[in-house]
């Protein structure tokens, strides 16, 4: 299955072989033909997309330079698009339309991108499989009996199935990188603060990041170049000038120091994923990199720390959904307590799904009197230790190479009975969010089960350029790693 590439489509557009309108029409046709079976989109605005494409063609014809002209973009439905629906995969936001545009989307559209629709996701981005959406599960285009990964599974699936040539997701604990690995596309979680969070519906505010999916590393580099940078609307946006990510594509890895953390290579890792990583490390050495072992000693505490802190933040962020101000409202039935209290209770009971309720209750518990220091306070201290692990590792290496997931995509329904088993799918991704560092997942091989294997690159704060340089080399050596035919 061929994966679309924005850079390739843009080259055709600049040669006069196609137009933005024809590209948008092509991908809309693909979306209509494939989405019934995959459930990747929750809304599509064809007329707006065609009108926008015509406008881009007029601008290009007049000589205006639009670096993303030809980008046909799908956006995860936790990111606001003005006057369009924002559901977060939840009944609680039924009928809600955004009053404003997310900064990331506004910057991409200003550069020529055309948004065709909003993609399905785990409810409020809480999930590792994209089975928690009010609109039903998303299916993996490589094997529809498998999950696409969560929570940004709709964005990854839409790209892999050829319904767009780029997409946006969000990453709180791996929600871009895991779907990228499961679907066999490239996905980038930027440094926390690199891309504005303005217009992103919050799950866990100190973790959430907006990032791109692409068919190639060049695609995500081009998308990040436009999105990145300080935004006065977002107090967590960092005043750090973005690098030239296009130039990084040609840097190579000669002289680069690449570390492999042994804590990521232990029990539970699929042997074929381990073999793909080891083969990739050999290829990187052939390309001139110095590959060495590094230690991240507090990795084992990552899952527990992550799920304490993110659920605590979620319990606060989701308190705003009360059935009064916007979204779904239940009838205020008679019963014990006031009608207002019943309205809150029934609206949240009917509006939120099981996983969201579970995390709200867990977060409320760890913040409660008598448990705050034992859980939340301790988790914050461990978070500092995990960040220090990375700081120390990056004193001796430039990039860290790890598995992205412990296995390939699992079957739909196979882990829903056991939340803890589901949470363990995030074991290789959550520590990057705890530390706030960037992570890039690149397809590296094909498993004997026919499913993609993705590998993860982690870098220093605001050093996405080194990940892009290394990821580009991984693409070039992939033929030497893949032992099974796609």
Catalytic residue numbers? 76, 151, 175
Measured torsion, CA atoms of residues 335, 338, 339, 341, in degrees rounded to the nearest 10? -100
Look at residue 315 and give its three-state secondary structure: helix
SS3 193: coil
CA distances, 482 to each of 120, 410, 464 (Å):
30, 20, 25
Closest CA to 21 of 85, 104, 108, 116: 116
Contacts of 302 (CB under 8 A, 6+ apart): 386, 427, 430, 431, 434
Q: Is 213 helix (H, G, I), strand (E, B) or coil?
A: strand
Q: How far is residue 88's CA from residue 132's CA, in Å, rounded to a whole number? A: 11
Segments in 330-459 forming alpha helices (H): 339-351, 354-366, 378-393, 419-423, 430-435
Q: What is the helix (H) or strand (E) element at residue 271, kind and residue range? A: helix 271-286
Cβ atoms of 456 and 429 within 8 Å: the answer is yes
220 with 464: CB under 8 angstroms?
Answer: no
DSSP assignment letter at 202: P
Among 428, 6, 9, 419, CA closest to 182? 428
Q: How many residues does the chain have?
A: 486
Contact 10, 19 (CB under 8 A): no
- Other CB atoms within a 10 A radius of the CB of residue 232 amount to 9
Q: Which residue from 401, 179, 452, 429 is spatially nearest to 279, judged by alpha carbons?
A: 401
Count the alpha carbons within 13 Å of 6 in the hemisphere toward its beta carbon.
31
């Amino acid at each position: 299955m061929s994966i679309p590439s924005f850079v390739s489509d843009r080259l055709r557009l600049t040669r006069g072989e196609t137009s933005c309108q024809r590209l948008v029409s092509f991908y809309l046709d693909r979306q209509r033909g494939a989405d019934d079976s995959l459930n990747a989109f929750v809304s599509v605005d064809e007329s707006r997309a065609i009108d926008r494409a015509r406008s881009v063609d007029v601008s290009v014809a007049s000589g205006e330079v639009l670096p993303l002209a030809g980008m046909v973009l799908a956006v995860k439905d936790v990111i606001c698009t003005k006057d369009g629906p924002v559901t977060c995969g939840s009944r609680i936001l039924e009928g809600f339309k955004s009053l404003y545009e997310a900064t990331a989307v506004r910057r991409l559209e200003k550069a020529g991108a055309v948004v065709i629709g909003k993609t399905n996701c785990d409810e409020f981005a809480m999930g590792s499989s994209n089975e928690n959406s009010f609109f039903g599960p998303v299916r993996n285009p490589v094997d529809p009996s498998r999950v696409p990964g969560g929570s940004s599974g709709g964005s990854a699936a839409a790209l892999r199935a050829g319904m767009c040539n780029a997409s946006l997701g969000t990453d709180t604990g791996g929600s871009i990188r895991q779907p990228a690995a499961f679907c066999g596309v490239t996905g980038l979680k930027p440094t926390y603060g690199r891309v504005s969070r303005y217009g992103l519906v919050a799950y866990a505010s100190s973790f959430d990041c907006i990032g791109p999916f692409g068919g190639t590393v060049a695609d995500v580099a081009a998308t990040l170049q436009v999105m990145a940078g300080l935004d006065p609307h977002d107090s967590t946006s960092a005043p750090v000038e973005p690098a030239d990510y296009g130039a990084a594509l040609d840097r190579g890895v000669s002289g680069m120091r690449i570390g492999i953390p042994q804590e990521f290579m232990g029990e539970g890792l699929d042997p074929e994923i381990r073999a793909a990583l080891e083969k990739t490390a050999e290829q990187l050495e052939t390309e001139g990199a110095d590959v060495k072992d590094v230690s991240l000693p507090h990795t084992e505490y990552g899952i527990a720390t992550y799920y304490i802190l993110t659920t605590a933040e979620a319990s606060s962020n989701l308190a705003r959904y009360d059935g009064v101000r916007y979204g779904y409202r239940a009838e205020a039935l008679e019963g014990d307590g006031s009608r207002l209290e019943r309205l809150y209770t029934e609206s949240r009971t009917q509006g939120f799904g099981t996983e969201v309720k579970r995390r709200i209750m867990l977060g409320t518990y760890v913040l409660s009197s008598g448990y705050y220091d034992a859980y939340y306070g301790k988790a914050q201290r461990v978070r500092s230790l995990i960040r220090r692990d990375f700081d120390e590792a990056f004193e001796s290496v430039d990039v860290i190479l790890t598995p992205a997931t412990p296995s390939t995509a699992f079957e739909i329904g196979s882990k829903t009975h056991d939340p803890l088993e589901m949470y363990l799918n995030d074991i290789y991704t959550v520590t990057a969010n705890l530390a706030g560092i960037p992570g890039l997942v690149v397809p590296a091989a094909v498993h004997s089960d026919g499913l993609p294997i993705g590998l993860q690159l982690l870098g220093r704060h605001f050093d996405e350029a080194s990940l892009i340089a290394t990821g580009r080399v991984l693409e070039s050596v992939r033929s030497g790693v893949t032992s099974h035919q796609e």
